[in-house]
Structure 1
Amino acid sequence: MTGKTISEKILSLKSGTDARAGDLVVCDVDCALGTDGSTPMALDYFASMGGTTVRHSDRLVFALDHYVPPSSPKTKELHRMMQDFAKLHGIALHEAGEGIGHQLIVETGRALPGSLVVGADSHAVTYGALNSFATGIGSSDLAAIMLSGQIWLRVPSSIRVTLTGLLSPGVYPKDIALTLAGLLRADGAAYQALEFAGDGVAALDLEDRLVLSNLAVEMGAKNGIFPADAKTAAYLAGRTDRRFEPVAADADAVYAREIALDLDTLVPQVALPHLVDQVVALGTAAQAPVHMVFLGTCTGGRLRDFHQARDVLVAGGGVAPGVQLVVTPASREVLEAMQADGTYDDYIRLGATIVPPGCGACCGTCGVIPGDGVNVVSTANRNFKGRMGNGAASIYLASPASCAAAAVSGTIGGPS
């Protein structure tokens, strides 16, 4: 019989079966995340299922991140519900202001190589950067996990994405992800795993890999998974004392499709409103005025993202008149690092509006909401109409550096 992909191996281990693409398996979950955008409904399901006790409460994590700060008495009440439930059942809870749940799962060492980590939010795929089978689930699935500690999954077939070469100056991981989205389109990897491989992987730091895994779901993927290497171990050092065993694909694993990307040939990309897969080279995009630039989210809210954008902003002489610069760190750890190395003060001097760590304006539930007719250039992962809370705004997606360049010039697109 042929060998297995990384996803097939992990789901075999977690289900205790010889799992192959297409099989239905019941798996033990190593960690499950619930956010304030999904957990309140999960608590309703939990009650309707007759739930009174939580199984493996140490494997559950709640994060108050979508409504930071709470935008109304109703959202404040949702936070209270989660806080009370977590306290009653001994579930770890990250309070509002600690950061985005996905970033916190990674920072706290809860996503380990060879593990199965799920989240009641589609961008839980982010943790695949750490060689974890990571996927988003629904609120009812989260309730079932609270009751049983298990989840059923269909084992996905895998698309092997081979990366070779090195990124040129001015080209970043977001440009890799957008290039791939343009190739696969929004549903090109529907219920499949993107398995990254090749010599180009070694050149990507863990933070770079998080971007690619995060954007995998925008191509319909069930998971976006990387092999583990020395950079994976280095990132986890000091973040966990738990043992883990990396999982690698077999040499004779079977893939549904193979894609090769030569990183040397890539150029800056931009996703045009209102589709993530409407991707063009930044230099070929029709010029459009920019009114707001958003730096943050689980795709682009880490320290290196803010460094990359800051350097472009400073070199370009600052933010153009009429452009609002909004900065939202992905976590308190990121915020404190920004404060420690002077990056925070740099953004204050640049006139940025700095929002507490969390999802911020990304999903339109809190933070700075764009006005009618506003063009936003964002480091986020989605740009459908209404995503940031106003269907009359238009959202472009680009790398932190490209977003900063737009803030400097007051336009997006045209010769770069």
Structure 2
Amino acid sequence: MSPPARPAQTLAQKLIARASGRTHVAPGEIVSCQVDLAMFHDSSGPRRLKPMLEELGARIWDKNRVVLVMDHYVPERDEDSRRIVRIAREWAAEQQLPHVYDSIGICHVVLPQKGHIRPGMFCVGGDSHSPTGGAFGAYMFGIGATEMLGVVVTGGIWVRVPLTLRMWWDGELAPGVSAKDMMLHLTGRFGMNGGDYQAVEFCGPGVQALSMQERMTLSNMSAELGAQAGLVAPDATTREWLRAAGVPDEQIALDPWFTDEGVDERAAKTFRFDAAALAPQVAAPHSPANTHAVGDIGQVPIQVAYIGACTGAKLDDLRAAAAVLRGRRVAAGTRLMVAPASAQDQQAAQDEGVLGALRDAGAQLLPHSCGACSGYGGTIPDGATVVATTARNFKGRMGSASAQVYLASPYTVAASALCGRIADPREVLA
């Protein structure tokens, strides 16, 4: 007799089943998983892990599976930041960690650019936007310092198998509309707890048409939905991007990393959207869920336009801003700041003439680090009205508690910098 057919599974179920050494897992089950990769940065890593490891007398389970990125407190601006970064650098040297990336960009962008994330992997990160790795067909989520300690010592972690919320996008985005608009729209509709610590899967023709970096924005901001993971099934676009990052073909498996047809509705719920009908979105202070179409925001004057963060300053984001700004100048009284997400993206933008277009428009170039997104560097003036490509606009998130921060796509932020007020990029591009 032939063995019974395996039940249809979601992408999330397949990834967790592989990590737990099983053929099938069901939503609600609690399983123990082996971790393929653990990432942490200067803020979340050594300064917290070092004393705990020493107290336990424990060692790292597998140094080849650990990645440390210095991105939150660089470049060092004061004694506190110098202390934090010094701890990270000294501990990395002491442990002889083979994968350390110091001041070359934001962890969520550097990690895939260095070929660390591949389809089928099960990964954790010491940062809430670690779900970015899900854009590559990997299960990746953020954990706290105590959980990271357990992973670093044992190489394992337990997980509750999630329900999958499938966000199906038909059509394709119109010019001037981006993945950031998709995510702001979803956050406005479902709220910041809409994901309820489940897995969100982005799918449909509208997602398949996106570049890898745009898919990274979707997975990144699944955190704003309250999801544990944000997944995109890998395809030819994934393969080509990873090849360019130096990942060998044999490590880029597209099968079986997709959601099966006929998956049980108790394992997945599907919501449908029309990408072609989506207008640019803006989140008003002080929540990403306070989102409206740009035309409903009104004539809001701004003093600062900020293009930065893992959510909004990758190469594709810089290209989008340059498409709006090329040959134009920022409005008088408006300050435009650009902090590329990585050194690699900054160099590519320089080579393509993208950075030149931004500078000619009046942009001020900032270091490729988390910067103002995490409230570091004091770049946001008190009382300023800001429109930013960052993922969050909580009160005080960008440093100043009195700043009024609006969230938007790179297209919209660039158009707003030109107009000195929140503006619809479609009008400028037209």
Please indicate the TM-score interval, normalised by the length of the shorter structure.
over 0.9
Question: For residue 89 of structure 2, what is the amino acid of its counterpart?
Answer: Q
Shift of 1:404: 0.5
Opposite residue 364 of structure 2, the aligned amino acid is: T
The 2-side partners of 1:300 and 1:311 are apart by 15
User: Cα deviations across residues 177-210 of structure 1 (Å, max 9, x unaligned)?
Assistant: 1111111111011111111222222211111111
Alignment of 1:84-163 (within 5 A): 84-163=90-169
Please state how far the C-alpha of 1:95 moved relative to its aligned partner: 4.4
Structure 2 counterpart of 1:38, one-letter code: S
Q: Does the residue aligned with 1:237 lie in a helix, a strand or coil?
A: helix
Q: Does 1:275 align with 2:275?
A: no
On the 8 A contact 2:176/2:280 being kept in 1, the answer is yes
Tell me, in whole angstroms, the C-alpha distance in 2 between the residues paired with 1:214 and 1:68: 22
Q: How does 1:186-205 map to 2 (within 5 A)?
A: 186-205=192-211
Amino acid at match of 1:220: G
Q: CA deviation at 1:90?
A: 2.8
Change (3 A) 1:238 1:412: closer
SS state of the match for residue 200, structure 2? strand
**Structure 1 pair 290–92 and aligned structure 2 pair: CA distance change class (3 A):** farther
Q: Counterparts of 1:407 and 1:30 in 2: how far apart (Å)?
A: 42
Q: Deviations over 1:281-300 (max 9, x none)?
A: 00111221111011111011
Do 1:293 and 1:403's aligned partners in 2 also have CA atoms closer than 8 Å?
yes
Between 1:349-358 and 1:290-299, the stretch displaced more is: 349-358
Paired position in structure 1 for 2:15: 10
Q: Partner of 1:360 in structure 2?
A: 371
Matched, 1:245 2:253: yes
Aligned twin of 1:212 = 218
Mapping 1:12-411, distance limit 5 Å:
12-17=17-22, 18-39=24-45, 40-51=47-58, 53-239=59-245, 240-241=247-248, 243-246=251-254, 247-254=257-264, 255-315=267-327, 317-366=328-377, 368-411=378-421
Q: More displaced, 220-229 or 142-151?
A: 142-151
Q: CA deviation at 1:42?
A: 2.3
CA distance in 2, matches of 1:396, 1:274: 8
Paired positions, count: 413
Aligned-partner Cα distance in 2 for 1:243–1:288:
49
Once residues 96 and 14 of structure 1 are traced to their aligned partners in structure 2, the CA distance between those partners, rounded to angstroms, is: 30
Deviations 1:238-269 (A, max 9, x none): 42126243311121223442210111111111
Task: Indicate if the aligned counterparts of 1:62 and 1:92 stay in contact, CA closer than 8 A.
Answer: no
Identity of aligned residues (%): 35
Letter in 2 for 1:346: A
One-letter amino acid matched to 1:245 = A
The separation in 2 between residues aligned to 1:200 and 1:42, in whole angstroms, is 41
Q: Over the residues paired in the alignment, what is the CA RMSD in angstroms?
A: 1.7
Q: CA deviation at 1:302?
A: 1.2
Aligned residue for 2:149, secondary structure, equals helix
Q: What secondary structure does 2:230 align onto?
A: strand
Kept in 2: contact 1:43–1:143 (CA 8 A): no
| Offset of residue 219 of structure 1 | 0.6
1:37 partner SS? coil
Greater Cα offset, 61-70 or 338-347: 338-347
Aligned amino acid, residue 291 of structure 1: Q
Q: How far apart are the structure 2 equivalents of 1:16 and 1:28?
A: 8
**Contact between 1:377 and 1:397, CA under 8 Å: does it hold in 2?**
yes
2:3 maps to none
TM-score, normalising length from structure 2? 0.92
- Report the CA distance shift for 1:278/1:218 in structure 2 as closer, same or farther (over 3 A): same
- The amino acid that maps onto 2:318 is F
Q: What's the secondary structure of 1:300's corresponding residue?
A: coil
* 1:318 Cα deviation after fit: 1.1
Over residues 103-129 of structure 1, what are the superposed CA-to-partner deviations in whole Å (9 max), with x where a residue is unaligned? 011101111111012110000011111
Does the 8 A contact of 1:28 with 1:150 survive in 2? yes
SS of equivalent to 2:395: coil
Change beyond 3 A, Cα 1:9–1:244:
same
Alignment partner of 2:129: what SS? Answer: helix
**Displacement, 1:312?**
1.0
Q: In structure 1, the residue corresponding to 2:311 is in which secondary structure?
A: helix
- Verify the 8 A CA contact 1:86 1:93 in the aligned structure 2: no
In 1: Cα distance, 2:243 partner to 2:337 partner? 32
Mapped partners of 1:243, 1:313: distance in 2: 39
Contact residue 118 and residue 136 of structure 1 kept, 8 A: yes
Q: Quick one: distance in 1 between partners of 2:26 and 2:88? A: 37
Distance apart, 1:217 and its partner CA? 0.6
Three-state SS of the structure 2 residue aligned to 1:26 is: strand
Q: Which moved more, 1:406-415 or 1:60-69?
A: 406-415
Distance 2:35 2:283 in 1: 35
